[in-house]
Amino acid sequence: MPDSAQPAHLADLAEALTGAAEDRDWAALEALCDRHILSMEGELAARLLFVLSLVPEAELRARPRLMISWINAYHAASEPDFGELRPYLRHYMDLGTRLAANMDIYSETSLATLVTVGTAAMIALRDQGKCAEAEDLGQRLTARAAQLSPLPGVDVAPRPGWLALQRGLTRSLMDDFPAAVELYRQAYDQATVEPATAATALNATANLAMLYAHLGHGALARRWLDRMSGFASPSRRVRFLLTVGGTIAEGWDALDRYDEAGLADGLATTGDGTRQLEVWPFVAALVSAHGLYLGDPAASLVHLGTLRLSHAPALVDQGTAVRVMRRAHVELLIATGQATRALRMIKETDPQASWLALPATRLRLLNGEYEAVRAMASRTSWHETTSRRDARQMLLLKAIAALRMGDREEARRSVELLSRLRPPEEVLSLASLSPADRDDLFKLAHIPVSDAAAQRLTLARPVFPERVHLVELTNRERAVLTELEAGGTLAQVARTLVVSVNTVRTQVKSVYRKLGASSREDALMRAYELGVL
């Protein structure tokens, strides 16, 4: 994207700030801040800070947008580290919360104040993990803004599209991607009306690229990345926050192509997911996928614990973050040979969830349940909530299962369908297979692969085990095992579960057989090892 660290006509802007102060025209100063606050850094921020110090306290308190601008100017002037904006964001969110508490949305007549203060409060709510409350506030702000916009004499929103953008980010974190895409598109359409709103347009295109890339829609992600390149960041200070979504999208593009160097460059910018970014779940998804396919799955499992401790529980245990963390945990467990533990996590989460369908199907394939694989893949490969990246791998798993069952025609059809979802330069789906399975599919049907992709595919290492053995206990068998773990005798277990001793004895035998154990101690030890308990 164009590297525009400072806006044009800086001297004119500095002069305008000084003139507003000399004329004590605080409304004009407010309008200048609304329009250019994201451009303020260095000497210009220092000039604004000085000008704001001349505003009478009563005027400052009556103009909440100037109070927010003061925080922007203070941090822009005093914090030269462009990569660390957390102190500023904390100050900004605290003030936004206090100001919003004193603002009656339905009686506010300033559209600029409504949006500026309201979105600051929305960001603060998201930071507390209260995304549903943030979206509720966003909807009320949108409704009031719609009422104010047509009225004569009402000021204009300082950054058209900013409210829709913030609602889009909220929906992204709530795992409501269709709504997020629609809101980001609204933000983009509104922001491209005038050049001064390039920051909002830049952020919207970056986040749209991020969502599409996260879902495996590479062509759509690239389209928005191309549009993103047409907008300049208003300053170096905010560039990272505005464009990090685009960097995530570029990282997914590199991973899909198995371009390890390109992915490493992207992760060097985004960090490892522990950084205090609102889009950290999307960074975490990319980081975990890198560890699974190109890194060390065992080390990545450990890193998941670090990720959990790096963010507040309210942020980790909701929406997109939950799905990213659970999905990564399951896939890394499979890659490290802990199949039964992975299966237990799937069942405890939601065995029917489309976002867990791929690892669930892979487990059945590795366990030799080929008919189940074909059924699961047929049901979910083309489901509207299945990501394009997952659908590619599901079709390949279905083809392998059909081939192992001797149904070459069904396998060939699955491979042919794959060509509708997979561009020739994509490598990841093929790299996820064992070399033997990959060779069998190449022999079976033509799979278009570009020369560069073929070269990268030769570097792929095995990701998942060749075979696994799943131990699945019934609910009653698990209950019996849990009671045995507590030290109960067969008679005590029978009384607790309200069944006969003979029934308990039969269930214990079944548990021992499934676990390959001959005693209570062996069964419990084996259950711990496998993750059954």
pLDDT digits (tens, 9 = 90+) for 86-111: 788 888 899 999 999 999 999 999 99
- Please report how many Cα atoms fall inside a 13 Å half-sphere around the Cα of residue 461, on the Cβ side: 10
pLDDT digits (tens, 9 = 90+) for 431-487: 999 999 999 999 999 999 999 999 999 999 999 999 999 998 988 998 999 998 999
The predicted pLDDT at position 10 comes to 62
Tally Cβ neighbours within 10 Å of residue 524: 17
Least confident of 50-64, 146-160, 250-264: 146-160
Going by the DSSP 8-state scheme, the letter that residue 231 receives in this structure is: S
Residues in the chain: 533
Query: CA-CA distance, 393 to 382, in Å (whole number)?
Result: 12
Least confident of 6-10, 12-16, 93-97, 463-467: 6-10
Asked whether residue 389 carries a pLDDT value surpassing 50, the answer given is: yes
In the chain, list all ranges with CATH 1.25.40: 5-224, 345-468
Mean pLDDT of 47-53: 90
**Cβ proximity of 72 and 117 under 8 Å:** no
- Would you say domain 475-530 falls under CATH 3.90.180.10? no
What percent of the chain is modeled with pLDDT above 90? Answer: 69
In the chain, list all ranges with CATH 1.10.10.10: 475-530
The two tokens of residue 390 are: 């997952």
Confidence band for 161, pLDDT divided at 50, 70 and 90 = very high
Query: CA-CA distance, 481 to 50, in Å (whole number)?
Result: 71
The predicted pLDDT at position 6 comes to 42
CATH topology of domain 345-468: 1.25.40
Q: What are phi and psi of 322, to 5 degrees?
A: -60, -45
- Please report how many Cα atoms fall inside a 13 Å half-sphere around the Cα of residue 155, on the Cβ side: 19
Residue-averaged pLDDT of the chain: 91
The predicted pLDDT at position 8 comes to 44
Confidence band for 4, pLDDT divided at 50, 70 and 90 = very low
CATH topology of domain 5-224: 1.25.40
Angle at 446 between CA 445 and CA 450, to 5 degrees: 150
Asked whether residue 153 carries a pLDDT value surpassing 70, the answer given is: no
The predicted pLDDT at position 184 comes to 98
**Cβ proximity of 166 and 182 under 8 Å:** no
Query: CA-CA distance, 18 to 238, in Å (whole number)?
Result: 24
